[in-house]
Amino acid sequence: MKVNFNRAALADALALLASVVPARTPKPILRCVRLTAGEKEVTIRATDLEVGVNYHLYEVQVESSGDVVVPADKLTAIVRESADEVLQFEMTDSNCTIAGADSKYTIYGQDASSFPQVPGFDGEGDLEVGLQTLQSAIRQTIFATARESTRYALNGILWEIKGKKLALVATDGRRLARNRISLSAAPAKNLEASKIIVPAKTLALLEKITGDQKETVAVKFVDNQVIIAAGNVVISSNLVEGTFPKYEDIIPSDYDKKLTLQTETVLSAVRRAALLTSEESRGIRLAVSKNKLVFSCRTPETGDATIDMQIDYSGSPVEIGFNPQYIIDCLRILTESTFELELGSPDRPGLIKCGKDFLYVLMPINLS
């Protein structure tokens, strides 16, 4: 194999692939990437056996085709630190030589035939959606997924397909985020009313892909895998096994205390009110009364804070406690300048709505 690479394009590819390569594994070959040179492009592959990526790189000049498997961390470091616009790769036996204007590296590789298969994308997808539309929906839900939960279903994001609508839902048991987006076309009939759980790690990869407003994503479900094609990148992943909670049951629908608030103003108020919280006292109190909203916290070991805000409200008063970080996580991903906050009694969840497609359910905490 002999190939001239555009260094910047190669660096971008390796930055994405590095998210897949495991830092620790009993299989050394998984810490590598596989470069396969065709006639006009090079495909770079990485996998941890659960998630895989095929990255098709076209900013290359292929002099001779071939295969090489090299350690991802060493290759990434060489490409990142190089100042050359073009890097020349040449493989002899299992070694890969990388040459720049004033540099030359030889990396000892491994047998390419031993590298695990990484699925590609063949044929048409089961559904299509705009890349930026899907990335926005991921950004507005992924923060609410569980981290290392023993309930595996909570480590992923539910894809709920109904007609030409796709709902993404995430929860960690204390909060829930849902966003609905429109599909480019009606999905395959076998997916109607489907509920599929895609790992958060897989969707975090998809969120990193760059593309213009017209870029679309094609998605295919094969056995217990999802394969996603976006531009020159194909992501494959095992689906999450398990049953996602019946989230519809916890979304309030009977609240009469409704406030329309400024996103940035409330975000600032919550951050300031939370400055004196501690590990033992993490909550802040929201006190709603006529034309007034007060954010406050009181911690025995630190002190207390109060932030007043004038609002348009004439309903009955209510006081309710929340984890401030959960409010901050939600408000900083909203794309609108205002949002709606709906409240019930102090022991019932709060509900945040933004636009017609996003909602966020937040469980209260006891501050007494």
Domain boundary pick from 219, 247, 275: 247
The arithmetic mean of pLDDT across residues 313-324, rounded, is 94
What is the spatial distance between Cα 176 and Cα 192, in angstroms, rounded to a whole number? Answer: 23
Q: Residue 239: which domain range?
A: 127-247
pLDDT at residue 214 is higher than 70: yes
Mean residue pLDDT of the chain comes to: 93
What is the spatial distance between Cα 34 and Cα 312, in angstroms, rounded to a whole number? Answer: 60
pLDDT score, position 163: 85
**What's the pLDDT band for 310 if we cut at 50, 70, 90?**
very high
Residue 122 located in a structural domain = no
pLDDT at residue 56 is higher than 90: yes
The arithmetic mean of pLDDT across residues 196-225, rounded, is 91
pLDDT (tens digit per residue) in 63-103: 999 999 999 999 999 999 999 999 999 988 788 999 999 99
**Tokens for 49?**
């056996």
Report which secondary-structure segment, H or E, holds 132: helix 131-139
The arithmetic mean of pLDDT across residues 144-171, rounded, is 88
Domain boundary pick from 48, 82, 114: 114
Q: Which residues of 52-83 are buried (b: 16+ CB within 10 A; e: fewer)?
A: bbbbbbebbebeeebbbbbbbebbbebbeebe
Residue 347 located in a structural domain = yes
**What's the pLDDT band for 242 if we cut at 50, 70, 90?**
confident
Same domain for 23 and 134, yes or no, is no
What are the phi and psi torsion angles at 226 (to 5°)?
A: -115, 135
Q: How many structural domains are present in the chain?
A: 3
**What's the pLDDT band for 299 if we cut at 50, 70, 90?**
confident
Same domain for 232 and 271, yes or no, is no
Residue 368 located in a structural domain = no
**Tokens for 206?**
């998809």
pLDDT at residue 47 is higher than 70: yes
Please name which of 23, 125, 143 lies closest in space to residue 72, comparing C-alpha atoms.
23
**What's the pLDDT band for 149 if we cut at 50, 70, 90?**
low
The arithmetic mean of pLDDT across residues 147-171, rounded, is 87
Contact of 228 with 206, CB cutoff 8 Å: yes
Same domain for 223 and 135, yes or no, is yes
Same domain for 218 and 258, yes or no, is no
Q: How would you classify residue 367: left for phi > 0, otherwise alpha for psi between -120 and 50, otherwise beta? A: alpha
Domain boundary pick from 114, 143, 160: 114
Q: Name the residue type at position 328.
A: I
The arithmetic mean of pLDDT across residues 295-304, rounded, is 89
Same domain for 104 and 15, yes or no, is yes
Residue 155 located in a structural domain = yes
Contact of 261 with 339, CB cutoff 8 Å: yes
pLDDT score, position 45: 97
Cα end-to-end distance, the chain, whole Å: 69
What is the spatial distance between Cα 164 and Cα 183, in angstroms, rounded to a whole number? Answer: 5
Q: Which residues of 99-134 are buried (b: 16+ CB within 10 A; e: fewer)?
A: bbeeeeeebebbebeebeebbebeeebbbbbbbbbb
Residue 315 located in a structural domain = yes
Burial bucket for residue 189 (CB in 10 Å: 0-12, 13-18, 19+): exposed
pLDDT score, position 367: 84
More reliable by pLDDT, 20 or 368: 20
Q: Name the residue type at position 127.
A: L
The arithmetic mean of pLDDT across residues 208-217, rounded, is 86
Q: How would you classify residue 193: left for phi > 0, otherwise alpha for psi between -120 and 50, otherwise beta? A: left
Residue 121 located in a structural domain = no
- Kindly state the percentage of the chain with pLDDT values over 70: 99
Among 224-228, 280-284, 327-331, where is mean pLDDT lowest? Answer: 280-284
**What's the pLDDT band for 350 if we cut at 50, 70, 90?**
very high
Angle subtended at Cα 120 by Cα 90 and Cα 2, rounded to the nearest 5 degrees: 10
254: number of CA atoms within 13 Å, CB side? 4
pLDDT at residue 190 is higher than 80: no
Give the CATH number, domain containing residue 297: 3.10.150.10
pLDDT score, position 317: 95
Contact of 71 with 107, CB cutoff 8 Å: yes
**What's the pLDDT band for 187 if we cut at 50, 70, 90?**
confident
pLDDT score, position 255: 93
Same domain for 238 and 292, yes or no, is no
